[in-house]
Amino acid sequence: MHFVEVILPLSLAKTFTYRVSETEYHYIRKGMRVAVPFGKSKIYTALVIEIHQNKPTLYEAKEIHQILDENPIVTEIQIAHWQWIASYYMCAIGDVYRGAMPSALLLESETIISQKPAIFVDESLLSDDEFLVYEALQQQNSLKVQDIINILNKKNIFPVIQKLIDKNILVLQEEMLESYSPKLIRYVKLHSKYDSNEGLEELLATLKNAHKQKDIVMRFFQLSASEKKPITVKKLTEVAKSTSAIVKALIDKEIFEEYYIQVDRVNFSGKTKEEQLQLSEAQQIAFEEIKKCFSEKEVCLLHGVTSSGKTEIYIKLIEEYLETGKQILYLLPEIALTTQLVARLRDYFGNKVAVYHSKYSNNERVEVWQQVLEHTPKAQIVIGARSALFLPFSNLGFVIVDEEHEQTFKQVDPSPRYHARDASIVLANNNKAKVLLGSATPSIETYYNTQSGKYGLVEISKRYGNVMMPEIELVGLKDKYFRKRMSGHFSDTLIEEITTALSLGEQVILFQNRRGYSPVIECLTCGHVPQCPQCDVSLTYHKHKNQLRCHYCGYSMAKPNNCHSCTSVHLTTKGFGTEQIQQELVELFPNAKIGRMDQDTTRGKYGFEKIIDSFKNREVEILVGTQMLAKGLDFDNVSLVGIMNADNMLYHPDFRAFERSFQMMTQVSGRSGRSEKRGKVIIQTYNIEHNTIQQVVHNNYEGMYKEQLYERQIYKYPPFFKLIKLTLKHRDFDKLKEGSMWLFQVMQLNLTIPVLGPEEPPISRIRNEYIRTIMIKIPQNQSLQGTKKTIQKMMNSFESVAQYRAIKIAVNVDFY
């Protein structure tokens, strides 16, 4: 008898055994996919992780339907890594498998597919089976895979669907809902009427008196002769020292034509930057130190102040690893940042850079997956957000985790709740690769690891080009309000500085922390604030849509005209967010061009890119934004950064509040004065003397670190204690209360370490489910694996209590 052991893409911790024929047995290798029946009538794409001859004892093994791959598409290193993730983060291996693979590779009977809209299909190129599916989709908008099984009257249909997806005819339904599209870059070329090179002389003659336009056209000719690649509007205006308005005029005259290419899909003609990147002395020293560090250690932290030129050091290191032929993984905290970086890296490495993240279409993700698997030069460097670490690397040599302190590296939901930085270090170890963590404000955990000698540490304390660190001025809000020096949320000092910056043609960034500043509608008569019917939170007022929305479940309603509690019509908006700051700005600076960057304005297509671009192109003078501003953006004309209110970050009830406040303020400040002139930062606060604020002012990372580390030790937090947070949910309040108390007591009895709770979190009901949390703190001297086993056992016995079975538990290891 012959069997395979497989992982199913379901939230199941076990692997399953299926029967295969002898021929199949000799054909199948670990890492291939097979279509298997499961449950009554479902079909799933399973992953083979073992081939054996051990008959399962508990159940009769079913036969697989079909082998889906000719070669493994998942490597053994990967499988081992996924098993580590499942074990470390206490989640089902099926969750990891499901989260790791592009969903096009995970077809199942329930998958819904439709035809890609607006495409031309050459029916003669379709096989009979493919044609039948295609034809069926002319009658119906979408089909379940199960329907197709019926139409074709056979079980082995995944390859048919896969082919149709590869041919770009079918898409998975989920994708249809995705609104994300990567950034488009604007290019210009000569208008097509000059395609034959005729009329060029006349063209220049017509521009005889338009010097600026003529100049830019001449520059265009020069550039196209020397670069032999598409020319961006940005490059052209830079080289010609001209403006986009003049390019626009030429487009209007039909001399130029504009066109757009998706930034990360541009194919360069192989020509990369010729003038070599020259590291500054400080960068060169850091570069050498990092290499030296790698001869002794696996992981190194590059702690370089904002604008010290960390990216350029990464580029130099990548260059060296490229020569060894190894693969390189570059992780970023935010998808929105990849476009900026990709453009920068493509300048150096041309076609060797691939991009991968969860918002990519299935086709694109499968394409990169294959490239990495086959180890093609096209994907030798992979840039991506956290999910890129699931790619089938087999020869990884170097991993960069940029902005390693960012909490977005930790996945919160759904499971696997992994930390991409930590998981990538384990992945690198399995590949014998080196890891470079980079940040201007390292996380306490990482810095602690450098102090204990586990990681190496390289520091740069100067900005590139000897640009000075910005000058930070504190403005005391208490005093300003007392002396009536405030206009709305703006102190006279801040207004003065903005006025000066604007008058010098410089740009301004204003930072408003999102947390706790969602605007709401309040009744002036009875004080009622509309609440979400399904969650215990106030509804947020969205002015431009004239709507109230729940940020937790998406519930929305039109803005009411009268109070739902007392029917009064006297309603007011309360709280202040970026929107209100923007409004106040319009009144204070009626002539300034103001932009806003927050969840609202960046939601739409290209939202983020548009705002960043218009700010870079100086079409916007003052940019108001939330945390998004803190993440590694490089603007060269910003001379002033204003932090509207530092206090609400500081007093967030979270053991990381001070660390985060320090990081946020330092990072936002770091956007100021990145070129010659020294930048300025104004921080408005009620707590001028607060240690964290003083540490920001004096750029005193060490001081922040030491203080926070001390607190962490006293109050039993990381890095001294590992945190595991259990979140229990149920629709029945009393049952949840009772169940979580039961589990808590069992844990307290059986674990000799701190167990806290069961706590009702500040938001204790979401989507009509009540929530309780239990926090477990595991000290350094205690076996982590052993404790996790005990916890798992107790959760299992919890599940075996009939009345608690319906209570869901989410486990979050290394809760952030």
Binding interface with Zn ion (CB under 5 A)? 523, 525-526, 528, 532, 534-535, 550, 552-553, 555, 563, 565-566, 568
* Residue 679 contacts which entry, ligand ADP, Zn ion, none (Cβ below 5-8 A, type-dependent): none
* Residue 555 contacts which entry, ligand ADP, Zn ion, none (Cβ below 5-8 A, type-dependent): Zn ion
Q: Which is nearer to ligand ADP, 317 or 644 (CB)?
A: 317
The answer to whether 715 and 723 are in contact (CB under 8 A) is: no
C-alpha 656/C-alpha 623 separation (Å) is 27
* Residue 307 contacts which entry, Zn ion, ligand ADP, none (Cβ below 5-8 A, type-dependent): ligand ADP
Compute the least distance from the CB of residue 457 to ligand ADP, in Å: 16
Q: How many Å separate Cα 71 from the centre of its chain?
A: 31
523 assigned ligand-binding residue: yes
C-alpha 117/C-alpha 100 separation (Å) is 27
Q: Which is nearer to ligand ADP, 346 or 777 (CB)?
A: 346
456 binds ligand ADP (CB under 6 A): no
Tokens of 414: 């759904």
C-alpha 255/C-alpha 226 separation (Å) is 20
* Residue 255 contacts which entry, ligand ADP, Zn ion, none (Cβ below 5-8 A, type-dependent): none
111 binds ligand ADP (CB under 6 A): no
Q: Which is nearer to ligand ADP, 311 or 669 (CB)?
A: 311
H-run or E-run covering 724: strand 721-730
User: Which residue from 116, 310, 357, 777 is in contact with ligand ADP, where contact means CB under 6 A?
Assistant: 310
* Residue 534 contacts which entry, ligand ADP, Zn ion, none (Cβ below 5-8 A, type-dependent): Zn ion
Contacts of 128 (CB under 8 A, 6+ apart): none
Compute the least distance from the CB of residue 612 to ligand ADP, in Å: 14
Q: Which is nearer to ligand ADP, 464 or 615 (CB)?
A: 464
Compute the least distance from the CB of residue 164 to Zn ion, in Å: 38
459 binds ligand ADP (CB under 6 A): no
The answer to whether 302 and 347 are in contact (CB under 8 A) is: no
C-alpha 627/C-alpha 597 separation (Å) is 9
The gap between the terminal CA atoms of the chain, to the nearest Å, is 48
300 assigned ligand-binding residue: no
* Residue 597 backbone phi and psi in degrees, to 5: -130, 105
| Strand 808-813, strand 721-730: pairing | antiparallel
Compute the least distance from the CB of residue 305 to ligand ADP, in Å: 7
C-alpha 616/C-alpha 671 separation (Å) is 12
Compute the least distance from the CB of residue 307 to ligand ADP, in Å: 4
Compute the least distance from the CB of residue 228 to ligand ADP, in Å: 24
From 86-94, 222-230, 303-311, 549-557, span contacting ligand ADP (CB under 6 A): 303-311
The secondary structure of 330-395 as a DSSP string is EE-S-HHHHHHHHHHHHHHHGGGEEEE-TTS-HHHHHHHHHHHHHT-GGGSEEEESGGGGGS--SS
Total residue count of the chain as it appears in this document: 816
* Residue 308 contacts which entry, Zn ion, ligand ADP, none (Cβ below 5-8 A, type-dependent): ligand ADP
Count CB atoms within 10 A of the CB of residue 82. 23
* Residue 181 contacts which entry, Zn ion, ligand ADP, none (Cβ below 5-8 A, type-dependent): none
C-alpha 578/C-alpha 264 separation (Å) is 31
Asked if omega into 719 is within 30° of 0 (cis), the reply is yes
Compute the least distance from the CB of residue 724 to ligand ADP, in Å: 34
The answer to whether 233 and 196 are in contact (CB under 8 A) is: no
Among candidate residues 405, 324, 329, the one with its CA nearest the CA of residue 372:
329
Q: Which is nearer to ligand ADP, 674 or 777 (CB)?
A: 674
637 binds ligand ADP (CB under 6 A): no
* Residue 660 contacts which entry, Zn ion, ligand ADP, none (Cβ below 5-8 A, type-dependent): none
* Contact positions with ligand ADP (CB under 6 A) in 663-682: 674
Contacts of 144 (CB under 8 A, 6+ apart): 109, 110, 111, 112, 113
Q: Which is nearer to ligand ADP, 304 or 757 (CB)?
A: 304
Compute the least distance from the CB of residue 765 to ligand ADP, in Å: 41
Total residues binding ligand ADP (CB under 6 A): 16
Provide the mask over 252-281, with x wherever binding to ligand ADP is found by CB under 6 A and - wherever it is not: -------------------------xxxx-
The answer to whether 661 and 704 are in contact (CB under 8 A) is: no
* Residue 409 contacts which entry, Zn ion, ligand ADP, none (Cβ below 5-8 A, type-dependent): none
From 299-307, 528-536, 564-572, 614-622, span contacting ligand ADP (CB under 6 A): 299-307
Contacts of 210 (CB under 8 A, 6+ apart): none
* Residue 528 contacts which entry, ligand ADP, Zn ion, none (Cβ below 5-8 A, type-dependent): Zn ion
Compute the least distance from the CB of residue 668 to Zn ion, in Å: 30
The secondary structure of 26-71 as a DSSP string is HH--TT-EEEEEETTTEEEEEEEEEEE----SSSPPEEP-EE--SS
Compute the least distance from the CB of residue 242 to ligand ADP, in Å: 21
Q: What angle do CA 96, 535, 628 make, to 5 degrees?
A: 60
Residue set of the binding site for Zn(2+): 523, 526, 532, 535, 550, 553, 563, 566
Residues that bind ligand ADP (CB under 6 A): 277-280, 283, 304, 306-312, 464, 634, 674
